[in-house]
Amino acid sequence: MQQIARSVALAFNNLPRPHRVMLGSLTVVTLAVAVWRPYVYHPTDDAMPIVKSIELDKNQLRTLLPEASEPIDQTTSEPEEELPADDIDSDVPDASGTHEYTVSSGDTLSSALNQYGIELGDINALVNSDKALRNLQVGQQLSWTLTDDGALQSLTWEINRRETRTYQRGNNGAFTMQSEMQKGEWQNSVLKGEVRGSFAASAQRAGLTGSEASAVIKALQWQMDFRKLRAGDEFSVLMSREMLDGKSAQSQLLGVRLRSGGKDYYAFRAEDGKFYDRNGSGLARGFMRFPTVKQYRVSSNFNPRRLNPVTGRIAPHKGVDFALPVGTPVLAVGDGEVVVAKNGGAAGNYVAIRHGRQYMTRYMHLKKVLVKPGEKVKRGDRIALSGNTGRSTGPHLHFEIWINNQAVNPLTAKLPRMEGLTGKARSDYLAEVKTNLPQLSFK
């Protein structure tokens, strides 16, 4: 043993001095750790406990939920309260409080209504009143009204030109259905005119109703800015009208031709209820789903009937919050025109973009705005940098989509896509266009 110790000491002494110092220090630290024992507190039987239970009131639990870290009581204002007045919207307003939807491929009643924040309980109550609602067909029309607190009040289902079903909520929350069968004759008529003043006034002089003029504007919304029409521009409209006792009971736009600045713009209705050009190509400009290059975590979902986590009051959340670092580029989700780019207020720095006539997007709590009102933007253009301005408790982007002045869920909303007809649907459409096109002459 002594020989081993002597050998170790000799080897240690032969090491360079820096190595001897390092090895000696490691030995001391190792011995200190080996012999150290932490102090353990052992309470006596009569000692007061250090840990105790704390009872919380149920209302206090709200402050512990994840939602409590999100913007509180942020009831963003309606678009028309802050956007510049638009003579087209005032001349041809939509029916007040009524929301409309055209059934698309793959739609169910649930997918169509849920994107507008209508609760599943109301949708189930509708289906319980009429099982046929499970079989919606492409091109059919839905319209509905809501109560003051956002619950579904009534729904109208236009099955075809002959039959319309209406569902009305009763005092017990259940819906009752009434079916109405039309008995009039449908007749096609062509109405022509020239622009003198506003398009709405010019259309009325040509014999179109306000709702028919609105249908024309929506059909051509992606091709033509109706505020920029000039005196002498011409239009020709093909309407199908149901005549009852010599009067028009309802109508449907089949096709339109508008000549402005020497250029012709066309839109024709297909069986799916959408409008396409003369070749069956879609007129809508495609939208991106997210306003950022990549998808970020959703920190607060769309909920028009959200219960505020702190106050317990209804505080609608009309968009989606994305948790993202300050300075992240914010992109326009579609082609459009900037109608608001401002600083200040609960929304902080924010931008609003109008896309066509029916769609609008809003981007809030920005660090820096990169666009100006009146500026045209394309899908994917950088419009701002995300931030934490206004009424906000952490860096995030609040993003909204509005369709026909109604906030919808940005994550599930049916957005316009650049699509066209194919196969038999396209051949049937082109045959219809070939028949209707000659009727839209200006002579």
Domains with residue ranges and CATH for the chain: 104-181 (3.10.450.350), 185-284+420-440 (3.10.450.350), 287-408 (2.70.70.10)
The phi-psi region of residue 91 (left if phi > 0; otherwise alpha if psi is between -120 and 50; otherwise beta) is alpha
What's the pLDDT score for residue 312?
67
CA distance 318 to 100: 18
- Dihedral over alpha carbons 226, 227, 231, 236 (to 10 degrees): 10
Q: For residue 432, what pLDDT is reported?
A: 94
- pLDDT at site 73: 40
Check residue 46 and give its pLDDT: 55
Q: What is the pairing mode between strands 275-276 and 297-300?
A: unpaired
* d(C-alpha 303, C-alpha 318), whole Å: 6
Dihedral angle over CA of 138, 139, 142, 143, nearest 10: 160
Per DSSP, the residues of 20-53 read HHHHHHHHHHHHHHHH---------TTSPPS---
Q: Measured in Å, how far apart are the chain's first and last C-alpha atoms?
A: 121
Q: What is the pLDDT of residues 130-161, one digit of tens each?
A: 999 999 999 899 999 988 777 889 999 999 88
**Phi, psi dihedrals of residue 433, rounded to the nearest 5°:** -65, -40
Structure tokens at 108: 């169910």
Check: pTM over 0.85? Answer yes or no: no
| Nearest residue to 327 via CA among 395, 400, 394 | 395
Using CA atoms, how far residue 250 sits from 9, 116, 236, 238, 412, in Å, is 109, 26, 19, 14, 32
Give the model's pLDDT for residue 49. Answer: 52
- 433 with 268: CB under 8 angstroms? yes
Q: What crossing angle do the helices spanning 17-35 and 2-13 adopt, rounded to 10°? A: 130
Q: Distance (Å, rounded) from C-alpha 423 to C-alpha 428?
A: 9
What the block records as the tokens of 60 is 């206090």
- Mean pLDDT per 10-residue interval, the chain, length 443 residues: 60 65 72 58 53 48 39 43 51 62 89 88 92 92 85 91 91 90 85 92 92 90 87 95 76 94 93 91 88 90 73 77 93 93 85 90 94 93 93 89 88 83 92 94 86
What secondary structure letter does DSSP report for 79?
H
pLDDT digits (tens, 9 = 90+) for 401-415: 998 888 899 998 888
User: Cβ atoms within 10 A of the Cβ of 321, count?
Assistant: 24
Q: Which helix (H) or strand (E) holds 298?
A: strand 297-300
